[in-house]
Structure 1
Amino acid sequence: MLLEKIKVLVVDDSALMRRLIKEILLTERSIEVIGTARDGVDAIEKSRELKPDVITMDINMPIMDGLTSMQYILNEFPEIPVIVLSSLTQEGTITTFEALELGAFDFIAKPSGTVSADLHNVGRTIIEKIITAYKYSKKNNVIKKVIQKKSNNRVITKSKKVISTTVSKVVVIGISTGGPNTLMEILPDIPEDLNAAIIIVQHMPPRFTSTFAKRIDSISPFGFKEAEGGDIILNRKGFLAPGGFQLVVRKSRYKDEYMIRLTEYPETLFMPSVNVTMNSVLECFGGENTIGILMTGMGDDGADSMVKIRKAGGITIAQDEATSVVFGMPREAIERGGAEIVVPYYKIPEEIIKAVNR
């Protein structure tokens, strides 16, 4: 239980949305709404005046949009986490990932557009992300960047080599809260000639994963795409599990060929589920050819599968507590004995290379 209330500034140009967000937050005793702002300029002024612990930020607003406002606020108050409220549109998803790259802590998808009268459907998610953002901002062991951050504007050269359909190994990365920013940090360091396939299971709503896959591909030497049913698993190819489906791997009718299948079963708390994907990869490729990785995220999705992979002779890697936005999924894997290697996020590319070459 938090000893002091979390002071939240709510920013949205819709009076209805400001009222609904405030109503939702008032149901949580540890949160106090200290103010609201109707546009980006108002948000900057209120941030200076009220010194909030966390800000919820709408994107589409008059006078000054949320993206621009957020940049001003984070430049002046880099310690304040900003949670972006985004609509489930193509434009909304692109802007959301721009916000994450510019420093937003996390995002929440509005259920039905810019003005969502049914916002209560994601009320618990809003509360949980605000509490998580506050706790992360108060961590004493603030992440120290040991390596210099590489510019996302650098030119990425993709390999034009002929790729064998014989897969050497499969790396499955499970990640949730804090995932987009963390993945954008580590994926540029995965070499394009890695003799393995990579499957990423990021807990993310449908319609966001398509845009995210394109952004991943743009910054990574290792080619990535949003997975589709029938995709063949290849060395030096990466796949992002689409939101709203389970990604499983199955043997094709051709010798030494494996393909991706998308299904809505089994129904789990998260769609896609890390456990479901890891289990299917382990079943197809065996422990000696499976590398399991769990990174920042709430809950325990993937922890049981990490135990199975390790027992089967596979290599398992977990992100450490100091660099995890939420030390839930990796902690569960560690406590259950499913993590052979525990390292900061920035050392995970190095560990992947070692594991593939082992």
Structure 2
Amino acid sequence: MNLRVLVVDDTIMYRKVVGDILAEMPGVEVVGTANNGKIALTRIASLKPDLITLDVEMPIMNGLETLEEIQKTYPDVGVIMLSTLTKRGSEITMRALELGAFDFITKPDAQVMQENVQLLRSALGPRIKVYAKRMELRALLKQRPRPVGAPAPAPAAPAVLASSRRMGKSKAVAIGISTGGPNALTKMLPQLPKLGVPIFVVQHMPPVFTKSLAESLDAKCQYEVREAENNEIVRPDVIYIAPGAKHMRVASGTGGAKIIQVTDDPPENNCKPAVDYMFRSVAREYGALSTGVIMTGMGGDGTLGLKVLKSFGAVTIGQDEESCVVYGMPKMAVEAGVVDVVSPLQMIASEIIRTVR
């Protein structure tokens, strides 16, 4: 069965370009277009799309307002936001992701149109494939019968000591996350009380967007949340978000202090910032007294870094398949045998607390 997609954008050029790119993809059917959110809502009922590409900034009814209505009336319809690389665009997109949009892509601004088309194609392709697989999985789960009287799934296993080298509680927490991240972090991080330890987060995102993510989370969390800056001293009860298009690592400063280093080293796993890059530095600086967490996201970034953390004796936690938007990064880590505890999203904060207190 084809993936049915509705393209919504107030710019005729983008409606055509996005529609043409999608139409090239095997198993994808573009069922219609709309030039604003109000028209899009009237067409969802008749066209029955599985997925909508939704422009953030439109007249009459913008992307965020449209998404809120879609979530209320058509909760099974996925949404990929298209945003400009501006502060306003990033703030609206961040709110959309927190509300549950599947993912977002930025509208390219290259001078040559063909280059823009190629950039859009490269961005849309993987997301469409992942969403199609997610739909297949959801359909299979719905079909799978549960025996009458079957017990509910067992709660996540208690956190375990990763090795005999673990002689105390964690002094730092490191989190790697990608697709579905803003929504998951918005649910998980506010559950954490001030634990007296720093938390380092790599969320795959471009510049500007990571700043908006930090500002949004800061308003919701007991922790201070900030986008990391080069050479700043690491403080307890602060969550550091890696800046977009840069790597973040922890290093030793003067007088025994830890510092953040923001670098322009090459991408790893086609990612910048990369989870592996940050995890390795946390392993080096905190060793067994650290907790590594891998959460929703496509690809395999984080698995090798978790392996390093685990080799030092750190406790490692992975998000379970059912609560992931995309079960990619945690899946690879679990299959590699580098995850101590597999936990649903709603229990990850509790698991982190157990490793620190």
The reply to whether residue 40 of structure 1 matches residue 37 of structure 2 is yes
Structure 1 residue runs of 4+, over 6 Å off? Answer: none
Check the 8 A contact 1:83/1:105 in 2, yes or no. Answer: yes
Q: Where does 1:218-297 land on structure 2 (aligned, <5 Å)? A: 218-254=219-255, 256-268=256-268, 269-286=270-287, 288-297=288-297
Deviations 1:262-300 (A, max 9, x none): 1111332110101011101111222x2121110011111
Question: For 2:99 and 2:326, how far apart are their aligned partners in 1?
Answer: 20
Question: Equivalent residue of 2:24, what SS?
Answer: coil
The reply to whether residue 170 of structure 1 matches residue 168 of structure 2 is no
Q: In the TM superposition, what is the alpha-carbon distance from 1:184 to its structure 2 partner?
A: 0.3
Partner of 1:112: 109
Percent of pairs with identical residues? 39
Partner of 1:125: 123
Greater displacement, 119-128 / 38-47: 119-128
Question: Equivalent residue of 2:46, what SS?
Answer: helix
Q: What code does the residue aligned with 2:335 have?
A: E
Deviations 1:281-332 (A, max 9, x none): 111222x212111001111111011112112111000111111111111111
Q: Closer, same or farther in 2 for the Cα pair 1:339/1:95, shift >3 Å?
A: same
Which of 84, 108, 112 is the equivalent residue of 1:87?
84
Partner of 2:147: none
Q: In the TM superposition, what is the alpha-carbon distance from 1:168 to its structure 2 partner?
A: 6.2
Q: Closer, same or farther in 2 for the Cα pair 1:78/1:267, shift >3 Å?
A: closer
Q: In the TM superposition, what is the alpha-carbon distance from 1:231 to its structure 2 partner?
A: 1.5
Partner of 1:201: 202
Q: What code does the residue aligned with 1:120 have?
A: Q
Question: For 1:173 and 1:217, how far apart are their aligned partners in 2?
Answer: 16
Q: What code does the residue aligned with 2:129 have?
A: I
Question: Equivalent residue of 2:33, what SS?
Answer: strand
Partner of 1:187: 189
Deviations 1:93-152 (A, max 9, x none): 111112223332221111229xx871431313213223333443551558x9xxxxxxxx
Check the 8 A contact 1:59/1:84 in 2, yes or no. Answer: yes
Question: For 1:236 and 1:68, how far apart are their aligned partners in 2?
Answer: 34
Q: What code does the residue aligned with 1:122 have?
A: L
Question: For 2:63 and 2:80, how far apart are their aligned partners in 1?
Answer: 11
Q: In the TM superposition, what is the alpha-carbon distance from 1:233 to its structure 2 partner?
A: 1.3
* Number of equivalences: 327
Question: Equivalent residue of 1:219, what SS?
Answer: coil
Question: For 1:354 and 1:247, how far apart are their aligned partners in 2?
Answer: 26
TM-score, length basis structure 2: 0.87
Deviations 1:229-253 (A, max 9, x none): 0111122111000011111111112
Q: What code does the residue aligned with 1:300 have?
A: G
Check the 8 A contact 2:170/2:291 in 1, yes or no. Answer: no
Can you give the 5+ residue segments of structure 1 that lack an aligned partner in the other structure?
145-166
Higher helix share: 2
Partner of 1:352: 352
Question: Equivalent residue of 2:273, what SS?
Answer: coil
Question: Equivalent residue of 2:207, what SS?
Answer: coil
Check the 8 A contact 2:18/2:120 in 1, yes or no. Answer: no
Partner of 1:16: 13
TM-score, length basis structure 1: 0.87
Question: For 2:65 and 2:275, how far apart are their aligned partners in 1?
Answer: 35
Q: What code does the residue aligned with 1:172 have?
A: A
RMSD, matched Cα: 2.0
Partner of 2:60: 63
Can you give the 5+ residue segments of structure 2 that lack an aligned partner in the other structure?
143-151, 153-168
